[in-house]
Amino acid sequence: MGHKDLDSIVVIGDFAIDRIITPQLNEYEELVNFIQTKKNLKSFRKLLFEYTQKKRVPFHTQLGGPLPNICQFLRIRERAVSGYSVVGNDRLTRKYIRDLNTLEVDTSRFVSLPGISAECIYALNSPTEHDSAIWLPHVTAQGSTKLPQDFFNSHGIMIVSEVNLSLAYRALNSYSGMSVLNPGSEVFSLNSSSDASFLGNLLSLVTVLSTNKEELRRIKELLGINGREFFDRFPRLEYLLTTKDASGACLMARNYSSVYDLNLQELGSKTPPGQIVDTIGAGDAFLASAVDAISRGTNPEDLLITATMAAQESLKYRGAYIPRLWDKNATVYASISRTE
């Protein structure tokens, strides 16, 4: 594909159209308490809807998901970013496009790439634009085999986040630059020995693996490996990033003899459940900031601090969490421990 722009980043990710509530500051603590009383935090959007019905709190419809979130935070750091979502050209997709039109979103930029089957639709947002990213929603298995071969190799970095894993494999298998994978909850759908073999093949293509602690635990179970064994098993892997709910993050790297653990302590406010943090895009801010720091050669301590604080800062801007999550007068303390 010609010259590779080492500074440019391409993101392939899932997308969603969310109904997000916007409570006033005095309603915020009640909202958090309401969600904490529920056992199944995975049905987060349903709980928010219940809350809006119960309290008659206004909500708005917003485009969201890992793909636009990651692009947003990379653009804040003045990186050239383009992003793609690939979906089946089916009834559900067409319904989402109608929904986008209802929201007055310009869908004229949704394009099919030359030579690609009409079974799939691609959405492209130009890396020169600084407005909100606009994408098609929901990567599907039907679209997973339709990525253009070698299309993304002009970019120096590829980030694949929370998509159908067969799509992730297709994208990464034809890519030769710095590759970043956030498999997301897709890892919990893997159970068989053939699934484990597929996961191993997928991770062999990855330079940076980013997960939360539950996803990493599942990957370890499937592959039967732990800690630095990841670097022995996967020669291409250089970094292993793990977010630990709302308490901090961990970094392992092939070239670091130490494991770096960052732990946040907050004075003057309550720490929310980590599932809430994950839901509103803080993990996307963490990933984007970490990738930017890695590509700039940032040292591990500063990398963890920058990425973790970006995640915390993002909480001020996402949907129900427009009010500041932490007490305004509180001081954030981050401690980093190193273990050999």
Burial class (CB in 10 A: 0-12, 13-18, 19+), 119: middle
Pick the more confident residue, 274 or 46: 46
Mean pLDDT over each residue of the chain, to the nearest integer: 69
pLDDT digits (tens, 9 = 90+) for 278-330: 445 778 888 999 999 999 999 998 898 888 877 776 665 543 332 233 333 33
Interatomic CA distance for residues 218 and 267, integer angstroms: 33
7-11, 25-29, 44-48, 324-328: which range is least confident on average?
324-328
C-alpha pair distances (Å), 29 with each of 33, 158, 239, 269, 325:
6, 38, 37, 11, 9
Segment 259-278 mean pLDDT: 54
Give the residue with greater pLDDT, 294 vs 47: 294
Would you say residue 1 has pLDDT above 50?
Answer: no
Neighbours of 253 (CB within 10 A): 20
**Residue range 104-121: mean pLDDT, rounded:** 50
Token pair recorded at residue 50: 């219940």
| Local structure of residue 330 (DSSP, 8 states) | -
Lowest mean pLDDT among 77-91, 236-250, 316-330: 316-330
Task: Flag whether pLDDT at 191 surpasses 50.
Answer: yes
Share of the chain above pLDDT 90, in %: 23
Q: What is the dihedral of CA 298, 304, 309, 312, to 10 degrees?
A: 140
pLDDT at 78: 80
24 vs 188 pLDDT, higher one: 188
pTM recorded for the entire structure: 0.72
Report how far residue 88's alpha carbon sits from residue 224's, in angstroms, rounded to the nearest whole number.
35
* pLDDT of 127: 38
Q: Rounded to whole angstroms, what are the CA distances from 301 to 244, 247, 256, 307, 337?
A: 16, 16, 11, 10, 9
Tell me, rounded to whole angstroms, the distance of Cα 201 from its chain centroid. 21
Residue 118 pLDDT class (50, 70, 90 cuts) = very low
**Banded pLDDT at 131 (limits 50, 70, 90):** very low
Higher pLDDT, 141 or 306: 306
pLDDT at 322: 28
